[in-house]
């Protein structure tokens, strides 16, 4: 029994049970507890995201604590602080949940500032993650000394569980609303870090090399005093051998994640050479757990690059703990050396030590057991590349498979064959673009996709692209009940399909779909309310289309709208299409707010008096490159980007302002930059003879210029059922 717990509590994990009962409203309960602790009369800071308080949840939390026999008395005279009475270990558990609930941790820092007790309780989580920038050796050494002193004076060295080494500091306050924006401390990392692969030694002078070596040795000494669970390496510099040796000797169970993985000594010219010893230590490290790195047949200097082959060899057993691999194709310029090499036959990979008679490289005797594999090729994934990975890792152990580019029919059929033979028995996440050859092999691709989706075990995460109705139905039939994340790209979903999605995906938390705007009419409003009524939904991304490229009826057939253009009747048809596109594309802050409220209206109807789980809605407007078979001018597309703005909408997190909506534009800086490059006079824009009169009919000139004269058209709420 933990000495800080009352006798009725036998395990620290009891607090986990209490929190599990509260579910997503933990932050609301904690906010109320914080208000009661410090006696706030005014609302918390505007940026205290995650602290959406609720008196109902607060009392629920107190009841849960009381039922667990925790000796707390929140309603003593003068509101004795509940937080002050909780055992420290319980407070620390609460802080852990707060930090996990909100990756950017602004709520954790807000909690730490409320009282001395809360500050002490948050120490474990505040110091659990440390980021070090190594761009400049002198600055890095100074930062490391200051950090070492702080940890010593705060007695907090023991709390560090994750250390991230990167080239520059990450601004934790940046939030562009991008679903793909990764927490820099996520384990394992999934986002790639762009960097120049360089050559083996770079261009350091002897003094620079010595200074850098001293910095790495200082870092190694610092790491030797930590009980790290994870070390994330995101610096373009190679992982130093001294740091690897320190991990192997002092903390062999630490997991090493390299986001800039590249074995530079495997960029080789005439005759294959042995890998450098320092890089071989990395390639075979028992700590190496995940890697993200580029591959290409040749290096930027025109040398043969064997990194892809080396990574597969590592997967097959050279790196015994390697569990997560993300490789991405890096294009290189056409140098003279590269053109010379391409005229020759590329020598096959002969292993890490081709000059040694002890190493032979045949088909691997064992296969690796990767948990996740992400392949982002230059254009497409062919069967030979996929077969090479299949020869080196057992796909039946994969939990996540992400193929980021075009997958052709043959590859899709191979995946379906594997699935039908239980080749993906543990798979829980799949990202699969069906490919751009749909027009030619549409029926066959849809059939293969259907086979694959029906043969896979129930998935928790699915991202699919350009699919017809048949595979969409198969996805909901086989995976609807288990899905927590679903992203359907390059396929417009209509009201009937979204209703079907709501009925099938009863546990969906994150949803991203495309839908067609139809001028804010009854059908559009019905879609918003249907989406809002999904009980489990927490985050929603809507990629709004201003023009249809797919017929809503017809069995399975998305087609481009191709119409002749030239006669008066065709010109009138074109003007009508342009008018619809402009109305649908125009999304200002007022309309974004109205769409969010419409979605939340459906949410409130589904939940009654309970607080909604849905916390954020992202609205993205896609443009139109062609209409009625006609390619539209660059300036017309620029106009659509100017009025088709992207927004992130959510409820104000402050307890006293929860009925208010916060709407934030995403990508404003880029929009303004490109918009200001266009002509001020619309008649001088390219193609204005097609759309200029239509624009002025919608938004008459007022003298302020076309950039300021437009506004969105309101939703037709009177048509809502």
CB atoms within 10 A of CB 133: 17
Cα radius of gyration (the chain): 29
The first and second tokens of residue 342, run together, are 């391409």
339 and 392 share one domain = no
Please check whether residue 344 is in contact with residue 393, taking contact to mean a CB–CB distance below 8 angstroms: no
Is residue 136 domain-shared with residue 268, that is, in the same domain? yes
Cα–Cα distance for residue pair 146/197, rounded to 1 Å: 31
Asked if the structure places residue 534 within a domain, the reply is no
Interior angle at CA 126, CA 63 and CA 3, nearest 5: 50
Q: Is 539 a domain residue?
A: no
366 domain-assigned: no
d(CA 408, CA 432): 11
Indicate the burial class of 399 (C-beta count within 10 angstroms; 0-12, 13-18, 19 or more): middle
Global confidence as pTM: 0.82
Q: 189: closest CA among 157, 215, 166?
A: 166
Is 331 in the same domain as 270? yes
Alpha-carbon span 467 to 473, nearest angstrom: 10
How far is residue 212's CA from residue 240's CA, in Å, rounded to a whole number?
A: 10
**Structural domain contains residue 83:** yes
Question: Position of tokens 């490109």?
Answer: 674
Assess whether 275 and 390 both reside in one domain: no
- Domain boundaries, position 137: 127-169+185-198+208-361
Under a CB-based contact definition with an 8 Å cutoff, are residues 266 and 199 in contact? Answer: no
Number of H-type helices and E-type strands within the chain? 26, 22
Q: Are 573 and 584 in contact (CB under 8 A)?
A: no
Distance CA 648, CA 665 (A): 6
Same domain, 616 and 709: yes
Question: Over the chain (721 residues), what is each successive 10-residue block's mean pLDDT?
Answer: 35 44 42 39 37 39 46 42 73 79 77 83 88 83 90 90 82 48 77 64 68 91 94 94 96 96 88 88 97 88 88 94 94 59 74 74 74 89 87 95 88 94 96 67 88 97 90 96 95 94 96 96 95 93 84 40 57 91 96 95 66 88 82 91 96 75 94 92 91 95 92 78 42
CA distance 671 to 663: 17
Six-digit token string for 715: 């939703």
CA 587 to chain centre: 25
Structure tokens at 713: 């058209």
**Count of CB atoms situated within 10 Å of the CB of 10:** 10
The CA distance from 501 to 469, in Å, is 12
Structural domain contains residue 649: yes
Q: So what's the pLDDT on residue 466?
A: 81
Burial of 382 by CB count in 10 Å (0-12 exposed, 13-18 middle, 19+ buried)? middle
Size of the chain, expressed as the number of residues it contains: 721
What's the DSSP call for residue 368? B
Q: How far apart are CA 136 and CA 129, in angstroms?
A: 21
Query: In 55-205, which ranges are continuous DSSP H helix?
Result: 55-67, 82-85, 88-101, 106-112, 116-121, 123-126, 137-154
Does residue 721 contact residue 527 with C-beta atoms inside 8 Å?
no
Is 425 found in the same domain as 303?
Answer: no
Domain edge (last residue) among 330, 361, 392 = 361
- The span from the first CA to the last CA of the chain, in angstroms, equals 58
Residues pairing with 182 in the sheet:
none
Domain assignment present for 326: yes
Q: Tell me, what's the pLDDT at 566?
A: 59
Residue 353 and residue 407 in one domain: no
Domain boundary among 327, 361, 395: 361
**Last residue within a domain, chosen from 337, 361, 385:** 361
CATH number of the domain that 460 lies in? 3.80.10.10
Find all residues with CB under 8 Å of 547, minimum gap 6, and list them.
516, 561, 577, 580, 581, 584, 624, 627
Tokens at residue 701, please?
Answer: 């000139």
Are residues 433 and 478 located together in one domain of the fold?
A: yes
Structural tokens at position 297: 């047949």
Cα 373 to Cα 392, 430, 436: the distances in Å are 12, 10, 22
CA distance 398 to 402: 11
Domain co-membership, 111 together with 153: no
User: Structurally, how many domains does the chain consist of?
Assistant: 4
CA dihedral sign, ordered 315, 321, 326, 329: negative
Residues 307 and 345 in one domain: yes
β-pairing, 380-381 vs 324-329, is unpaired
Q: For tokens 């609807």, what's the residue?
A: 480
Residue 511 lies in a domain: yes
214 and 337 in a common domain: yes
**DSSP character string of 249-300:** HH-TTPEEEETT---GGGEE-SS--PPPHHHHHHHT-TTEEEEEEEE-SB-T
Q: Is 140 helix (H, G, I), strand (E, B) or coil?
A: helix
CB 291 within 8 A of CB 313: no
> Is the residue at 541 inside a domain?
no
User: Distance between CA atoms of 244 and 265, rounded to whole angstroms?
Assistant: 17
Q: Are residues 189 and 336 in the same domain?
A: yes
């Amino acid at each position: 029994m933990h000495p800080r717990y009352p006798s009725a509590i036998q395990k620290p994990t009891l607090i986990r049970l209490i929190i599990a009962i509260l579910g997503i409203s933990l932050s609301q309960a904690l906010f109320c507890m914080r208000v009661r602790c410090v006696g706030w009369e005014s609302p918390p800071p505007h940026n205290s995201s995650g602290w959406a308080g609720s008196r109902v949840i607060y009392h629920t939390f107190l009841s849960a604590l009381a039922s667990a026999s925790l000796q707390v008395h929140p309603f003593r005279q003068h509101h004795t602080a509940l937080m002050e009475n909780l055992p420290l270990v319980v407070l620390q558990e609460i802080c852990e949940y707060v930090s996990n609930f909100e990756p950017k941790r602004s709520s954790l820092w807000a909690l730490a500032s409320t009282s001395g007790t809360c500050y002490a309780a948050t120490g474990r989580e505040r110091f659990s993650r440390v980021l070090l920038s190594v761009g400049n050796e002198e600055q890095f050494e100074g930062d490391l000394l200051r950090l070492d002193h702080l940890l010593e004076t705060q007695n907090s060295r023991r709390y560090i569980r994750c250390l991230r080494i990167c080239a520059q500091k990450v601004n934790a306050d940046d939030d562009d609303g991008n679903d793909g924006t990764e927490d820099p401390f996520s384990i394992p990392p999934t986002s790639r870090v762009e960097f120049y692969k360089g050559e083996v030694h770079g261009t350091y002078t002897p003094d620079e090399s010595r200074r850098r070596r001293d910095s790495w040795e200082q870092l190694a000494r610092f790491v030797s005093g930590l009980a790290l669970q994870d070390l994330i390496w995101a610096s373009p510099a190679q992982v130093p051998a001294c740091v690897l040796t320190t991990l192997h000797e002092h903390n062999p169970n630490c997991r090493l994640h390299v986001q800039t993985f590249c074995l530079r000594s495997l960029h080789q010219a005439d005759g294959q050479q042995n890998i450098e010893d320092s890089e071989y230590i990395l390639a075979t490290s028992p700590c190496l757990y995940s890697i993200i790195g580029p591959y290409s047949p040749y290096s930027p200097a025109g040398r043969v690059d064997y990194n892809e082959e080396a990574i597969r060899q590592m997967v097959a057993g050279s790196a015994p703990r390697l569990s997560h691999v993300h490789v991405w194709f890096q294009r290189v310029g056409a140098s003279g050396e590269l053109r010379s090499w391409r005229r020759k036959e590329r020598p096959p990979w002969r292993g890490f030590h081709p000059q040694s008679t002890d190493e032979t490289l045949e088909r691997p005797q064992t296969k690796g057991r990767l948990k996740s594999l992400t392949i982002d090729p230059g254009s497409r994934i062919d069967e030979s590349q996929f077969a090479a990975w299949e020869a080196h890792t057992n796909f039946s152990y994969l939990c996540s498979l992400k193929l980021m580019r075009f997958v052709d029919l043959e590859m899709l059929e191979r995946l379906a064959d594997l699935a039908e033979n239980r080749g993906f028995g543990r798979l829980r996440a799949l990202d699969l673009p069906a490919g751009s050859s749909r027009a030619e092999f549409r029926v066959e691709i849809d059939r293969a996709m259907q086979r694959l989706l029906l043969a896979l075990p129930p998935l928790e995460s699915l991202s699919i692209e350009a699919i017809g109705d048949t595979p969409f139905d198969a996805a909901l039939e086989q995976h609807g009940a288990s899905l927590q994340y679903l992203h359907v790209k390059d396929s417009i979903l209509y009201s009937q399909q979204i209703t079907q999605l709501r009925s099938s995906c009863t546990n969906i938390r994150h949803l991203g779909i495309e839908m067609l705007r139809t001028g804010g009419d009854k059908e559009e409003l019905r879609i918003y309310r249907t989406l809002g009524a999904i009980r489990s939904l927490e985050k929603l991304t809507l990629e709004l289309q201003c023009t249809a490229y797919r017929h809503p009826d017809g069995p399975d057939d998305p087609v481009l709208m191709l119409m002749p253009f030239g006669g008066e009747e065709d010109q009138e048809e074109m003007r009508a299409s342009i008018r619809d596109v402009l109305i649908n594309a125009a999304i200002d802050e007022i309309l974004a707010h109205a769409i969010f409220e419409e979605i939340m209206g459906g949410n409130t109807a589904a939940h009654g008096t309970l607080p909604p789980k849905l916390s954020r809605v992202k609205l993205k407007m896609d443009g139109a490159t062609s209409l009625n078979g006609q390619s539209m001018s660059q300036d017309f597309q620029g106009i659509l980007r100017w009025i088709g703005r992207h927004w992130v909408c959510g409820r104000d997190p402050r307890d006293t302002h929860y009925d208010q909506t916060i709407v934030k534009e995403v990508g404003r800086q880029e929009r303004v930059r490109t918009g200001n490059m266009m002509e001020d006079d619309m008649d001088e824009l390219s193609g204005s003879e097609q759309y200029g009169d239509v624009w002025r009919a919608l938004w008459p000139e007022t003298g302020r210029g076309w950039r300021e004269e437009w506004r969105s058209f309101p939703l037709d709420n009177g048509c809502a059922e």
